[in-house]
Structure 1
Amino acid sequence: MSMSTYSTAETAAVSGRLALVTGATSGIGRAFAERLAADGYDLVIVGRRKDRLEEFAASHPGTRVRTVAADLSTAAGIDTVAGICAAEPLTMLVNNAGVAHYMPLADLPAEKAAELVHVKVLAPTLLTRAAVGGMQERGRGTVVNVAGMIAFSGPAPHSQLPRRVVYGGSLAYLVTMSQTLAAELDGTGVAVQVVCPGVVATEFHERQGLDLSGIPRMTAEDVVTASLRGLELGETVCAPGVEDAGLLDAVSRADLAAFGGQSTELATRYRTA
């Protein structure tokens, strides 16, 4: 079930800048909404909890806020928000909503696996698809996909970290999707970024029953600062906690080298002796 309300009027954006933020009731999504409101954006904020959405709108009387209570793990929720993305003149889309479900694949209930894929893969894909056509027509726009450094952790040995197969895979999808879409939209005036924070001080891990209170964590506000500054710098992949940006460039170069190194001939190591 989904609901959509405006806190003030019922017409399109009046500020000239309209941002839609998913998962806007806490953590990184809330920090994005706060920052964009302070920067003069009109907002469409999406979340599962109607009470939190309304609290945000009430606490920002100077900002035009549309609240949309929608569950992006459902087809109905995705359809509702995708319809808004297609109909409204968005200048920014922040695909932030997320769930984690950290457990080995064999132990992950099917419904939780489906929920994760809907929220972190299907929803960002369909919301971006709905928004990007209008952005291209208007010649401006920004899509920010919130992933995480776990997207780069696939090669890690079992001893290094607990396996989060579906979660890690979904974040890696967001990285590749963002890079490919950024290339596709080059020259259109539409920018695409994937922001990949590490451990952030939000409710996210607590909802999974993980106590990370003793571990140093970045603030959600710093993640947003990095993302917005990264857009100014022209970064497609923004890693707020990685000091040496050359490491990210090296990953990209290695990916392209492997891609370019393919041949129609069977590699020598696969030929029988």
Structure 2
Amino acid sequence: MSSSNSDRPVRPVALVTGPTSGLGAGFAKKYASLGYDLVLVARDEVRLHDLASELSTMFSTESEILVADLATEPGREAVADRLAKGVEVLVNNAGFGTSGEFWTADPALLQSQLDVNVTAVMRLTRAVLPSMIASAHGTILNVASVAGLLPGTSSAYSASKAYVISFTEGLSGGLAGTGVQVQALCPGFIHTEFHERAGLEMSAMPKAMWLSVDQVVAASMKDLADNKVISIPGIQYKVLTTAGRLIPKWLIRKMTKLVARGQGRT
């Protein structure tokens, strides 16, 4: 953590998981620009310190570094303990997909994917809610995916994101009147390291389907301001998800398979 200044005014705090690249970095920078201090959570300590230094230089933001692997119970517990002390914003961004078919995937890798994409979201949300409800203020932003809304070529990944969406929608009803806001962000394909890390071949994806990190962050923030529980950035994905509610699922699966040909994701 950077050095403290006793004369410095108290600033709100946002905790972001997976902030060292892509969408997580985008949210970290956005909240820093809005005057927040950060708690940055990831496995890579070097990249966390690099980001903290960048945020300090750009926005005079103080960042607390929390090195944790959310695929493990000790990692989740460490972050949950920090959240129990209170933050104004929680961005559950950490998550990953894998390549190959479900039946050939390493069971341990599948379990790690479930633990990061689902268990961590549930555990960290549970940890932060008591303090947010007590202060009648707070925001929980759960990064899901359009894959959780449309039948696609992935199985475990899409199912994990469908959980996040359903979980967030259910919470929104229970939290009505508490002052705590929740959002499930459902982006489509974003220019990040996500697909490369997952080993996915994306060259066949039409250019019109790609979004930038800045586009997704801006759409999410606008939808938070408009109190939308489900945020779907990009007109192309709004059209797709609307069609998905009207067109038979077998046809959506066929269309998705055509667009996402050759990706082989689990």
Match of 2:46?
Answer: 51
Specify which of 171, 181, 187 is matched with residue 181 of structure 1.
171
Match of 1:237?
Answer: 230
- 1:72 partner amino acid: L
- 2:72 partner amino acid: T
1:212 correspondence with 2:202? yes
By relative contact order (CA 8 Å, sep 6+), the higher-ranking structure is 2
1:28 correspondence with 2:23? yes
| Change over 3 Å in CA distance of 1:133–1:208 after alignment to 2 | same
Give 1:212 deviation, angstroms: 2.8
1:18 correspondence with 2:16? no
SS of equivalent residue, structure 2 residue 189: coil
Question: Gaps spanning 5+ residues in structure 1: where?
Answer: 1-5, 157-161, 254-273
Give 1:199 deviation, angstroms: 0.3
Specify which of 162, 174, 188 is matched with residue 198 of structure 1.
188
SS of equivalent residue, structure 2 residue 65: strand
Is this contact kept in 2: 1:17–1:91, CA < 8 A? yes
SS of equivalent residue, structure 2 residue 55: coil
Give 1:16 deviation, angstroms: 3.5
Moved more, 217-226 or 114-123: 217-226
| Change over 3 Å in CA distance of 1:60–1:185 after alignment to 2 | same
Is this contact kept in 1: 2:146–2:187, CA < 8 A? yes
Which protein is richer in helix relative to its size?
Answer: 2
| Change over 3 Å in CA distance of 1:153–1:245 after alignment to 2 | closer
SS of equivalent residue, structure 1 residue 59: helix
Match of 1:268?
Answer: none
Q: TM-score under structure 2 normalisation?
A: 0.84
1:39 correspondence with 2:34? yes
Alignment length, in residue pairs? 240
- 2:234 partner amino acid: G
Q: Which has the larger radius of gyration?
A: 1
Specify which of 146, 149, 152 is matched with residue 149 of structure 1.
146
Give 1:180 deviation, angstroms: 0.3
Specify which of 56, 62, 65 is matched with residue 64 of structure 1.
62
Match of 1:103?
Answer: 100
Give 1:241 deviation, angstroms: 1.7
| Separation in structure 2 between the aligned mates of residue 100 and residue 247 of structure 1, nearest angstrom | 21
Give 1:214 deviation, angstroms: 6.5
Match of 2:253?
Answer: none
Match of 1:94?
Answer: 91
Match of 2:130?
Answer: 133
| Separation in structure 2 between the aligned mates of residue 245 and residue 149 of structure 1, nearest angstrom | 9
Is this contact kept in 2: 1:95–1:124, CA < 8 A? yes
Give 1:105 deviation, angstroms: 1.9
SS of equivalent residue, structure 2 residue 222: helix
Identity within the alignment, % = 35
SS of equivalent residue, structure 1 residue 227: helix
Give 1:103 deviation, angstroms: 2.9
Is this contact kept in 2: 1:26–1:203, CA < 8 A? yes
Give 1:57 deviation, angstroms: 1.1
Match of 2:156?
Answer: 166
Match of 2:83?
Answer: 85
| Change over 3 Å in CA distance of 1:165–1:246 after alignment to 2 | closer
Moved more, 212-221 or 188-197: 212-221
Match of 2:220?
Answer: 227
Deviation sequence 1:170-199 (CA, Å, 0-9, x none): 000000000000111001000000000000
Is this contact kept in 1: 2:70–2:76, CA < 8 A? yes
| Separation in structure 2 between the aligned mates of residue 135 and residue 184 of structure 1, nearest angstrom | 14
Is this contact kept in 1: 2:146–2:237, CA < 8 A? no
- 2:91 partner amino acid: V
Match of 1:267?
Answer: none
